[in-house]
Structure 1
Amino acid sequence: MNQLDRTDRPADTAHRAPGTDPLTLVVGVHLVVIDGGTVLLGRRRNTTYAAGLWHLPAGHMERGEPVTRSMTREAEEELGIAIAEDDLELVHTLHHLDADDGRSRLQLFFRSARYAGQVRNAEPHKCEELRWWPLDRLPDDIVPYTAHALGEIARGNRLSTVGWSA
């Protein structure tokens, strides 16, 4: 049993075995807006990741905010809509190992039965256009993990992984 110092951390971390440090995850939040069998996607632009590809309205958690606030903030920033945190439903969790940078990412996909405001492209400098796509005919130029997650959501699966060795 490790003795704890006054900050509740193990007293001696210098002798840890390689690879045993706590995992640091990047947490992404994604809004799945579905209407009549179609899903809202935006074509990314002027971004370092996936420029030119279709993706759900999404962003990252910021330090000091709960995941539900992250999602409502992103919905307001990207689509100009207000969603109450209590109205969010977590519909899928994807643990994604990013082949580009080797980082472990937890991607959370939310739906909301209601929102206030009119959906619009509130970030035209980051989103070339918004478009509704049939769930069974997604564009070819979509972020691959987005297509994966939407397929899993359509099948009712709440958890999946992508990029990990079998």
Structure 2
Amino acid sequence: MALRTAEWIFDTKHDRYPVASHLFLIDQDERVLFMRRAGSGYADGQLGVPAGHVDLGETVTESIIRETGEELGIKLDAGDLVFAGTMFRRSQEPRVDYFFTARTWEGEPTIREPHKCTELVWASSDDLSSDVIPYLVRALDNARTGTVFDEHGW
């Protein structure tokens, strides 16, 4: 059976997993920007990174550029992004995560969604706080070691 919309055909016989994009924003001192999560019901109080679901009709890179602008108010171009890995992860639901790094951007990161983020924290990837969400610690380590695919939480 297939579900049709004006532009898309969906195979409804198979499970689908949410797809998300994540960004490790790295400054000149090799620190990563983390955001203290709030108000989402998932990992509130812990440190995450700019991230979000990939919307229908949007590419993964378009998603992280949009999300980073919404969450931090900075401008990224696709050329600023370096692919850093993929993770098939068990969370509240199974999901597929794409990770990128960026070392250049326009603007100063600021909290643009205070109902979702209460603090910005620059941290060395060699000395991460225990309140960084665990799958992000692993994904960052994967990015540093060149591991482009991982499965986590199964």
Q: Which residue of 1 aligns with 2:81?
A: 88
Where do residues 16-165 of structure 1 align in structure 2 (5 Å cutoff)?
Answer: 21-35=13-27, 36-98=29-91, 101=92, 103-164=93-154
Where 2:32 maps in the other structure, the secondary structure is strand
For the residue of structure 1 that corresponds to 2:68, the secondary structure is: helix
Query: Residues 156, 124 of structure 1: CA spacing in aligned structure 2 closer, same or farther, 3 A cutoff?
Result: same
For structure 1, list consecutive stretches of 5 or more residues without a partner in the other structure.
1-6, 14-20
Cα distance in 1 between the residues matched to 2:57 and 2:10: 20
What's the RMSD between the two structures over aligned residues?
A: 2.1
Larger radius of gyration: 1
**TM-score (ref. length: structure 1):** 0.80
Q: Distance in 2 between matches of 1:117 and 1:9?
A: 39
> How far has the Cα of 1:8 moved from its partner?
8.3
Unpaired runs of at least 5, structure 2: 1-7
Q: Which runs of 4+ in 1 moved over 3 A?
A: 7-10
TM-score normalised according to structure 2 size? 0.86
Identical amino acids, percent of aligned pairs: 37
Cα distance, 1:22 vs structure 2? 2.3
